[in-house]
């Protein structure tokens, strides 16, 4: 697995290539842990793609749930404990929280760390926004690499899940 290019793609071809690379990462992924997300679209799209989806819903050790598809509808069910292992950790949290989240990803045996800011290039908020300041992207990539993780930013994970298709 390789890192996916960040949000500085300058052409439609580069944007599409980043989206396809992110979708390939998801194709190699069985389980995802979400640390916050901008909208229900994120866990629902990943569940529809056939991935095992875990979510951390609070600060406590039992604040975990799983998302599945039940009769065509995405539903959340309490898990009550941290998953034993995940392939990918996704977060929609401020940059200052990334070191702790990357450490969690490493502890859970993840191979990939995916960060989405929820920002547009003009600093506005957008649930599918993936703009990351270049310096923060570099630092986040370095944090992930130091933990042995590949790194993705600049691609909305729900879009990558739809491109991936599913279930596997």
Q: How many CA atoms lie within 13 A of 53 on its CB side?
A: 31
Question: If phi over 0 gives left and psi between -120 and 50 gives alpha, with beta otherwise, what is residue 91?
Answer: beta
* Between 86 and 3, the higher pLDDT residue: 86
- Determine the pLDDT at residue 16: 84
Q: For the residues 130-159, what does the mean pLDDT come to?
A: 95
Q: For the residues 120-146, what does the mean pLDDT come to?
A: 94
Q: For the residues 6-26, what does the mean pLDDT come to?
A: 77
CA 79 to chain centre: 19
Please, which residues have CB within 8 angstroms of residue 39's CB and are 6 or more apart in sequence? 127
**Structure token digits, residue 32:** 């995802």
Is residue 41 scored above 80 in pLDDT?
Answer: yes
CA 124 to chain centre: 20
Percent residues over pLDDT 70 in the chain: 92
Q: Are 154 and 5 in contact (CB under 8 A)?
A: yes
- Determine the pLDDT at residue 44: 95
- Determine the pLDDT at residue 2: 43
Q: Are 43 and 64 in contact (CB under 8 A)?
A: no
- Determine the pLDDT at residue 48: 94
CATH architecture label of 12-164: 3-Layer(aba) Sandwich (3.40)
Q: Are 44 and 55 in contact (CB under 8 A)?
A: no
| Nearest CA among 127, 95, 133 for reference residue 7 | 133
- Determine the pLDDT at residue 10: 60
CA 40 to chain centre: 13
| Nearest CA among 27, 6, 29, 28 for reference residue 17 | 6
Is residue 146 scored above 50 in pLDDT?
Answer: yes
Domains of the chain, residue spans: 12-164
Q: Are 124 and 8 in contact (CB under 8 A)?
A: no
């Amino acid at each position: 697995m390789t890192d996916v290019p960040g949000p500085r793609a300058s052409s439609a071809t580069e944007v599409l290539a980043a989206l396809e690379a992110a979708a390939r990462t998801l194709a190699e992924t069985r389980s995802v842990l979400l640390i916050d997300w901008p909208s229900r679209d994120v866990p629902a799209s990943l569940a529809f793609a056939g991935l095992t989806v875990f979510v951390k819903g609070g600060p406590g050790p039992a604040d975990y749930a799983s998302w599945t598809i039940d009769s065509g509808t995405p539903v959340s069910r309490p898990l009550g404990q941290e998953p034993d292992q995940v392939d990918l950790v996704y977060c929609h949290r401020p940059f200052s929280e990334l070191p702790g989240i990357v450490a969690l990803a490493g502890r859970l045996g993840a191979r990939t760390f995916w960060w989405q800011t929820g920002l547009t290039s003009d600093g506005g908020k957008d649930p599918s926004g993936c703009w990351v300041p270049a310096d923060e992207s570099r630092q986040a990539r370095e944090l992930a690499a130091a933990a042995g993780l590949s790194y993705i930013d600049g691609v909305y994970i729900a879009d990558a899940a739809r491109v991936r298709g599913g279930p596997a």
